[in-house]
Every structure is written in structure tokens, then in C-alpha cells.
């Protein structure tokens, strides 16, 4: 098959062997896949997470946010997913006797930046007619925001500060708006991304290059006469930002580090202790968040497609990933693997 192949620390669009479905696996043809910042983290920080396997001597095909068409069944499949049906799944490949494989982040679990990929039947869900491929390809990203907002327990009467209006920031805004939380304060350096946030329900937009987000939050807090603790969703992950949050947050703030990845830096625990803050890292989305977000998209309660700013084919993926590395481009880029093949 033709795919975007990671090998020897470089990306190349070329032929690589077709995946073969094993017991309980579906072979699918990806129809749409979203580029995620974690793809860049995976490339740039090999070996830094035990769940992700990086082998420079083997072909790896990334792409873990996807929807595809079933083209073949492996042994022992139930027949619940007929040939030609559309399916999606959490990006986990389950095989007997081994740890679950992260699709797109393991040489043995090829992702959606190619013409064929594998999914576990037990993890798969049918996509009904009338639901767009691009919307389903964004489920994984929007499930992340759902996870953090759910874990925060935030509700009406609390004032959130969302730092970053990239894909995860937008998913957080959408999850907050669904719960009737507001006003929602969002900070970013990019005015275009702030406008995306407004589309998903943000009320107060702060360009961090010209205004202090924490001061704007405090002014909004006082204007609303709130009497609750500060809730911050850090959705960027840039080195040093978590320490800035510790330095600038209010006493007893609750902080959810949705953007903190491999190079997020360190924090002064003493300063955090003096603030009495609570900070949660990672751990999701869980199945209830992922499949709940899928249900919201299928039912029409959530439309994630306004976050898409660019649609590309396989040949354009390496350049698009580099733009994500440089924090450029729209919040979400969607790949149509069949384009230009």
C-alpha cells in the first residue's frame, strides 16, 4: 500500500507492505484522518512513553484519528461489520497475549496515513449514513477536552480559563459550552484561533500578546460576582507554561494539564504547595469520553468540523506535520488518504 512512512527518523510517502488482519481484526480503508500534535511528539521524542513503540529500523504509519471502510475480515470476526460499512474506533489494537498497541504509534499497528489499516472488531463502532467522515475523524481530539472537563467537575457558576485555542483547547471549550458553563475565557497568541474558539462557545477572547489572561479572568470573575475557585485548562504544552500557571493562578486553583507532553518542563512544587493548587495530568480520554463524543457527533449534538482549516492528501502530510511542529496552521488538518494516490 501507499502510505506516509516513518523510518530512520524521516518521513517518506512510498509503498509499504499491506497489513494483514489477524483474529478479531478488521482491515479498513481510511477515508479521513486528522493530524494530531501527538504525532509530532511521537516522532520527536522516541522512547519517552512505554505505550508508544518507536523503531527506526521498521516502517511505522501514523494516524490515530480516523474513519474507514471495511474491506476485509480477519479470522473469528462476528460479521457485525459488513464489507463496505464505515467504522471508527479508539486507537487501540487488542491482540491476545500482548499489551494493547496504540494505533499509529507502533510499527505493528499501522495508522490512517496510508491506504489500509487494522482495527480491533471489539473496539469498533459503525458510522451511520449521513454522518460526515471528517466529523468522525475529529472524535478523538474532542474526546480529550471532554475527558478533562468531565474530570474537573466544573459546572455553571464556575469560571474557566482555557489556555490555548488549538484543537484540544477547542474541544475543551465545546465540552464546557455543552455543560452550560460560562462565560468561557480563552487565551491564545493567534487571533484566528481565538475566532475558532468563539465558534465553539468561547465568550471572552484574550490575545496573550496584548493582554494578561489571568488579569482578564480576574476582572471577569469579579464582574460576574462568582465565589468559586479558579479552574484552568492548560491546552498548549510548551516548555515553561505550567510554571507560569503556578505563578499566576489564584489560590486553591484547579489546573488540568491537557497540553503537558514530553517537553512541558518542570514546576516549583513549593510554589504550587503555597498556592494550594490541584493539578491533574493525562490519563484520557477514557472509553466513556471517546464513545460518548462519538455518540454526540452521530446524534448531531456536536459538530467538530468548524475546527478544520485544511484538507490534504497523503503527499502533503509531511509538510503539514512540520507546520504542526512549528505551531502554525489551523487547529485541525484532515487527511483524505485516497486523494492523489
Q: Please give the full DSSP string across 58-110, using - where no structure is assigned.
A: S-EE---SEEEEEEEE-TT--SSS-TT-EEEE-SEE--TTSPPEETTSSTTS-
pTM: 0.93
Peptide bond just before 183 cis, omega within 30 deg: yes
Q: How far apart are the first and last CA of the chain?
A: 10
Please indicate, yes or no, if residue 295 is contained in any of the structural domains: no
Backbone angles phi, psi at 127, to 5 degrees: -105, 120
Please indicate, yes or no, if residue 291 is contained in any of the structural domains: no
Average pLDDT over residues 210-237: 96
- Cα dihedral 105, 72, 139, 253, rounded to 10, equals -40
Q: Identify the DSSP state of 201.
A: T
Number of domains in the chain: 2
Cβ(310)–Cβ(286) below 8 Å: no
Do 156 and 259 sit in the same domain of this protein?
A: yes
Please indicate, yes or no, if residue 235 is contained in any of the structural domains: yes
Please indicate, yes or no, if residue 151 is contained in any of the structural domains: yes
Q: What is the pLDDT of residue 191?
A: 95
The per-residue pLDDT for range 82-94, each reduced to its tens digit, is 999 999 999 999 9
Average pLDDT over residues 192-198: 96
Do 195 and 101 sit in the same domain of this protein?
A: no
Do 123 and 50 sit in the same domain of this protein?
A: yes
Domain that includes residue 134, residue range: 2-138+304-335
Backbone angles phi, psi at 216, to 5 degrees: -60, -40
Q: Distance between CA 251 and CA 277 in Å, rounded?
A: 7
Please indicate, yes or no, if residue 239 is contained in any of the structural domains: yes
Average pLDDT over residues 99-115: 94
Q: Which residue has the cell 465540552?
A: 175
Cα 43–245–271 angle (5° rounding)?
Answer: 115
The per-residue pLDDT for range 248-267, each reduced to its tens digit, is 999 999 999 987 666 667 89
Q: Distance between CA 210 and CA 208 in Å, rounded?
A: 5
Q: Distance between CA 182 and CA 185 in Å, rounded?
A: 8
Q: What is the mean pLDDT of the chain?
A: 93
> 3-class DSSP state for residue 184?
coil
- Residue 341: band (very low, low, confident or very high) from pLDDT cuts 50, 70, 90: very low
CA-atom Rg of the chain in angstroms: 20
Cβ(60)–Cβ(106) below 8 Å: yes
As given in the structure block, the three cell numbers for residue 50 are 512505554
| Residue 319 CB neighbour total at 10 angstroms | 11
| Residue 83 CB neighbour total at 10 angstroms | 12
Do 238 and 331 sit in the same domain of this protein?
A: no
User: What are the strands, taking DSSP E only, across 275-331?
Assistant: 278-281, 308-312
Q: What is the pLDDT of residue 263?
A: 65
Please indicate, yes or no, if residue 42 is contained in any of the structural domains: yes
Do 152 and 263 sit in the same domain of this protein?
A: yes
The b-or-e profile of 126-136 (16+ CB within 10 A means b, else e) is ebeeebbbbbb
Do 254 and 129 sit in the same domain of this protein?
A: no
Average pLDDT over residues 226-238: 93
Q: Distance between CA 36 and CA 325 in Å, rounded?
A: 10
The per-residue pLDDT for range 265-303, each reduced to its tens digit, is 789 999 999 999 999 987 779 999 999 999 999 999 999
Average pLDDT over residues 143-151: 96
Do 153 and 251 sit in the same domain of this protein?
A: yes
The per-residue pLDDT for range 4-55, each reduced to its tens digit, is 999 988 999 999 999 999 999 999 999 999 999 888 888 887 655 556 677 7
Average pLDDT over residues 91-108: 93
Q: What is the pLDDT of residue 261?
A: 60
Q: What CATH number is associated with residue 21?
A: 3.90.180.10
Q: Are strands 204-207 and 185-188 parallel, antiparallel or unpaired?
A: parallel
Average pLDDT over residues 216-237: 95
Do 125 and 157 sit in the same domain of this protein?
A: no
The H-or-E segment that residue 11 falls in is strand 10-15
Q: What is the pLDDT of residue 53?
A: 77
Please indicate, yes or no, if residue 287 is contained in any of the structural domains: no
Do 156 and 266 sit in the same domain of this protein?
A: yes
Do 261 and 176 sit in the same domain of this protein?
A: yes
Q: What CATH number is associated with residue 190?
A: 3.40.50.720
Q: Identify the DSSP state of 189.
A: S
Do 159 and 269 sit in the same domain of this protein?
A: yes
Q: What is the pLDDT of residue 283?
A: 75
- Residue 238: band (very low, low, confident or very high) from pLDDT cuts 50, 70, 90: confident
Do 118 and 144 sit in the same domain of this protein?
A: no
As given in the structure block, the three cell numbers for residue 325 are 511542529
Q: What is the pLDDT of residue 51?
A: 60
Cβ(256)–Cβ(242) below 8 Å: no
Please indicate, yes or no, if residue 244 is contained in any of the structural domains: yes
Amino acid at each position: 500500500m501507499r502510505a506516509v512512512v516513518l523510518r530512520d527518523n524521516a518521513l517518506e510517502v512510498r509503498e509499504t507492505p499491506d497489513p494483514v488482519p489477524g483474529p478479531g481484526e478488521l482491515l479498513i480503508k481510511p477515508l479521513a484522518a486528522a493530524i494530531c500534535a501527538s504525532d509530532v511528539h511521537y516522532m520527536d521524542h522516541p522512547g519517552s512513553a512505554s505505550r508508544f513503540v518507536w523503531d527506526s529500523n521498521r516502517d511505522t504509519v501514523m494516524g490515530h484519528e480516523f474513519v474507514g471502510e471495511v474491506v476485509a475480515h480477519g479470522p473469528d470476526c462476528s460479521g457485525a461489520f459488513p464489507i463496505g460499512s464505515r467504522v471508527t474506533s479508539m486507537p487501540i489494537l487488542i491482540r491476545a497475549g500482548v499489551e494493547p498497541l496504540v494505533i499509529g504509534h507502533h510499527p505493528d499497528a499501522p495508522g490512517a496515513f496510508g491506504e489500509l489499516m487494522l482495527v480491533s472488531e471489539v473496539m469498533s463502532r459503525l458510522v451511520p449514513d449521513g454522518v460526515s467522515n471528517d466529523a468522525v475523524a475529529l472524535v478523538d481530539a474532542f474526546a480529550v477536552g471532554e475527558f478533562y472537563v468531565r474530570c474537573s467537575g466544573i459546572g455553571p457558576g464556575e469560571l474557566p480559563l482555557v489556555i490555548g485555542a488549538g484543537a484540544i483547547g477547542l474541544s475543551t471549550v465545546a465540552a464546557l459550552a455543552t455543560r452550560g458553563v460560562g462565560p468561557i475565557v480563552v487565551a491564545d497568541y493567534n487571533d484566528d484561533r481565538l475566532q475558532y474558539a468563539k465558534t465553539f462557545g468561547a465568550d471572552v477572547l484574550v490575545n496573550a500578546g496584548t493582554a494578561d489572561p489571568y488579569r482578564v479572568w480576574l476582572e471577569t470573575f469579579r464582574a460576574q460576582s462568582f465565589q468559586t475557585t479558579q479552574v484552568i485548562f492548560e491546552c498548549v504544552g510548551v516548555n515553561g507554561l505550567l510554571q507560569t500557571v503556578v505563578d499566576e493562578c489564584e489560590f486553591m486553583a484547579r489546573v488540568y494539564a491537557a497540553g503537558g507532553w514530553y517537553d512541558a518542563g518542570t514546576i516549583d512544587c513549593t510554589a504550587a504547595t503555597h498556592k494550594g493548587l490541584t493539578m491533574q495530568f493525562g490519563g484520557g480520554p477514557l472509553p466513556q469520553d471517546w464513545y460518548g463524543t462519538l455518540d454526540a457527533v452521530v446524534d448531531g449534538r456536536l459538530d467538530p468540523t468548524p475546527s478544520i482549516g485544511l484538507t490534504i492528501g497523503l503527499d502533503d502530510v509531511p509538510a503539514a506535520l512540520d507546520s504542526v511542529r512549528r505551531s502554525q496552521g489551523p487547529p485541525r488538518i484532515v487527511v483524505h488518504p485516497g486523494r492523489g494516490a
